[in-house]
Amino acid sequence: MKFYRALSPFKVISFDLDDTLYDNRDTIRNAENHFLDCLRKQALLPDFSNENWYARKQQFAEKHPLIAEDVLAWREQTLQQWLSEYNITQTDVIISGLMAEFIEWRHKIDVPMQTFRVLDVLQQRYPLSIISNGNVIAKRLGLNHFQLSLRGGEQGRAKPHRELFQQTADYFGVKPHEILHVGDNLLTDVQGAITADAQAVWINLSGKGIQAFPEARLLPTLEINNLTELLQL
């Protein structure tokens, strides 16, 4: 555990989900590949590449940055636009099926037992909440520890915007600085929390120091390398 700022008393702990409470890397890659395999089959375009899809998503995000803050809407509307360009019929049916497949695969996540044990203890001490920019529903993973779950683009502006942090403070009747936010991303989680006047725990599983990350524009309150370290606070 390494402190960069003085830790003030806190009353609520909020968590990011992906790559904070579990390793998300294989899951998102498998879900994306399955989604695109289904897309190629249903649209009868076997040569449509993964790179083409990523480029189209990026183009859509550049034109519609607010829509892209909601990762599900971003995916769905990129798909809608792409299918319409190819004059593909029954797009509503195709999109509905593809999104359902993606969400199902997106939840094929093995949450470590350590995560459950840490959350079991923490929920006895503090109200817990989720502030995520992703598309995973915690309860579908058996994570039933949270009194509030907010998703960027759906309930408000995505991190690092301050809106979801303020909503969390309002919901629990606390000041933003009384929220301790835990996340892996130095931009969305750390910078987002600090600029919202909350406190930030950076979970660093990289084995590298913070100086190796150019996105570290603001220092977290503290750095941990394992979720169990939260039990020492």
Q: Give the model's confidence band at 2: pLDDT under 50 very low, under 70 low, under 90 confident, else very high.
A: very high
- What is the reported pLDDT for 46? 77
Cβ neighbourhood burial of 90 (10 Å; 0-12, 13-18, 19+):
exposed
pLDDT one-digit tens code per residue, 63-102: 999 999 999 999 999 999 888 887 777 788 889 999 999 9
Q: Could you read off the pLDDT of 144-178 as tens digits, one per residue?
A: 999 999 999 999 999 999 999 999 999 999 999 99
Helix axes 71-85, 50-63, angle to 10 degrees: 110
Which amino acids are annotated catalytic?
A: 16
Residue found under tokens 């150019």: 214
The pLDDT-based confidence of 1 (bands split at 50, 70, 90) is very high
The model scores a pTM over 0.75: yes
Tell me which CATH code domain 2-22+111-232 carries. 3.40.50.1000
Q: Stretch 13-42: mean pLDDT, rounded? A: 94
Average pLDDT over residues 118-123: 98
Q: Assign 35 a pLDDT band (cuts: 50, 70, 90).
A: very high
Query: Could you tell me if 133 and 151 are in contact, meaning their C-beta atoms sit under 8 angstroms apart?
Result: yes
**Rounded mean pLDDT, 22-40:** 93
Cα–Cα–Cα angle for 214, 130, 132, nearest 5°? 45
How confident is the prediction for the chain on average, in pLDDT?
A: 94
Cα-based distances in Å from 120 to 11, 100, 201: 17, 31, 19
Q: pLDDT > 90: what percent of the chain?
A: 86
The pLDDT value given to residue 83: 86
> Is a pLDDT exceeding 90 seen at residue 7?
yes
User: Is a pLDDT exceeding 90 seen at residue 204?
Assistant: yes
Measured CA to CA, the distance from residue 31 to residue 29 in angstroms comes to 6
**13, 126 in Cβ contact below 8 A?**
yes
pLDDT at 69: 95
**Domain segments of the chain as ranges:** 2-22+111-232, 26-106
